Structure 1
Amino acid sequence: MAGKEDVLTRPAIDAALAELPDWRYRLGGLVTVYKAPTAAGALALIAAVGQIAEEQNHHPDLDWRYNRVFIRYTSHDAGSEVSSRDVAAATAASTAAADAAAVAEPGLYRTMELAIDTDAPEAISEVWRVALGYRKGRHGDLVDPYGRGPALWFQETPSPNANRIHVDVHRSLAESGPAIGKTAATGALMNHDHAPNWVVVTDSQGNRLCLCTEAGHEPDLGD
């Protein structure tokens, strides 16, 4: 089992990713997408990744979509952060993908969060946790224990926006440019004050979303 002392620092994660070009860092995990030649090939890759998981006793979140396999590794026993176990598992999965002639498409791995502007998160978080059947996450957020629904977090602010609920769309910094450019081309208002961490997008009716990257996201190393 991993513990907080096993959580990798952000420089250590970046150094590991330099040797893992198929993978990206995302909200306490390592993520990627593999495109296999066929749906059957994707299933074979899932079986291979499953075998690796059993051998290493470290299991990823997997999502199969025809000939694509979405994979996320995190160390839940280390506070849902990245540990050396995730790096080892991602390395082995990359080898299995190469053996299966699968091509990495990490830019397809998008992560969605819902954010609520509030001046008192503690006054409302329990309502949402119970109603959604979620559990508490890494930094006061709420997460689906089965990884199916989007996370929910509370953006604490003394002056909540009139539209209190907005969507955060997380992409890797390496792949964020085209998405930002295409969104700007729709005529939306783009606020880059916090870039590259996030760009605030406002549509013509005042609804907001944020296009986010891993920039500025540091692992929780505890006290």
Structure 2
Amino acid sequence: MAASDVLTRTQIDTALAALPDWTWGLGALRTSLKCPTAAAALELFAAIGELAQGANHHPDVDWRYETLFVTLTSHDAGSVVTARDTALATTISAAAHAVDALARPELLRTLEIAIDTDDIDAISATWRTALGYKRQEDGSLADPMGRGPSLWFQKTDTPKANRFHVDVTVPFSESGPVLDALAATGAALDHEQSPMWVVATDAQGNRLCICTEEGRS
């Protein structure tokens, strides 16, 4: 398999069986690595930088005190997972273990904002201009620097009164406790599309979705 080969979902799942620190979601491999100290996190950050330079393949790394959030995807292949990503994930995990970092999948939550609309073209440019985002092939808007949440438009002939909702993507392995905690707050849960997503509605009618990688290609 060439390093640039795009992996199928089956191939990604096979690779993840040997990469317990990582999960797949929204077209990328993701991990959260908690280090013993902030200094160890910086050491790991530097090691990841060296590995990325050596591989000529650069992940997104977010340093938060003693924790690093790492996202791997091949932008030149259409922001999907390739063999380059699984190879770099393997070496990053080895570097993480060298500084006694632990994977914390429960910390992985990826935020997207959705807007109900019956005319995407009428509003897309306004949001793209205000946010400084770029339009993706699927019509969604994304921060070119990867800092802010992406925004997508849910096409519907009957937009809800509250047109906005938030999608929170979590690893399927961590979704049960999240949904249980939401139910404990009094949120109403609609499991019709589970496990791909569960719609949660708060006491005032505001919606959010807890999304997972299960059931997606």
Matches for 1:63-142 after TM superposition, within 5 Å: 63-142=62-141
Match of 2:31 in 1: 32
1:192-218 superposed Cα distances (whole Å, 9 cap, x missing partner): 111111111111111111111112332
Match of 1:177 in 2: 176
| CA-atom RMSD in angstroms | 1.3
Cα distance between partner residues in 1 of 2:77 and 2:40: 33
**Post-superposition offset of 1:138:** 4.9
**Post-superposition offset of 1:160:** 1.1
Cα distance between partner residues in 2 of 1:118 and 1:172: 28
Match of 2:187 in 1: 188
Matches for 1:135-150 after TM superposition, within 5 Å: 135-150=134-149
**Post-superposition offset of 1:97:** 0.3
Cα distance between partner residues in 2 of 1:138 and 1:8: 19
- Is the contact made by 1:27 and 1:217 (CA closer than 8 Å) also made in structure 2? no
Q: Which has the higher contact order (CA 8 A, sep 6+)?
A: 1
Identity %: 58
2:172 partner amino acid: L
- Is the contact made by 1:80 and 1:138 (CA closer than 8 Å) also made in structure 2? no
- Is the contact made by 1:115 and 1:167 (CA closer than 8 Å) also made in structure 2? yes
Taking structure 1 as reference, are residues 124 and 2 closer, same or farther at Cα in structure 2, changes over 3 Å only? farther
Match of 1:154 in 2: 153
Taking structure 1 as reference, are residues 130 and 216 closer, same or farther at Cα in structure 2, changes over 3 Å only? farther
2:76 partner amino acid: D
**Post-superposition offset of 1:2:** 7.3
For the residue of structure 1 that corresponds to 2:62, the secondary structure is: strand
Cα distance between partner residues in 1 of 2:71 and 2:211: 18
Cα distance between partner residues in 2 of 1:215 and 1:175: 12
Match of 1:215 in 2: 214
- TM-score, normalised via structure 1 length: 0.94
Unaligned runs of 5+ in 1: 219-223
- TM-score, normalised via structure 2 length: 0.96
**Post-superposition offset of 1:107:** 2.1
- Is the contact made by 1:58 and 1:85 (CA closer than 8 Å) also made in structure 2? yes
Cα distance between partner residues in 1 of 2:53 and 2:34: 23
- Is the contact made by 1:2 and 1:77 (CA closer than 8 Å) also made in structure 2? no
Match of 1:203 in 2: 202
- Is the contact made by 1:2 and 1:78 (CA closer than 8 Å) also made in structure 2? no
2:70 partner amino acid: I
Match of 1:21 in 2: 20
**Post-superposition offset of 1:122:** 2.1
For the residue of structure 2 that corresponds to 1:124, the secondary structure is: helix
1:111 partner amino acid: T
2:78 partner amino acid: G
For the residue of structure 2 that corresponds to 1:128, the secondary structure is: helix
Q: List structure 1 segments (4+ residues) > 3 angstroms apart after TM superposition.
A: none
| Alignment coverage as a number of residue pairs | 216
1:65 partner amino acid: R
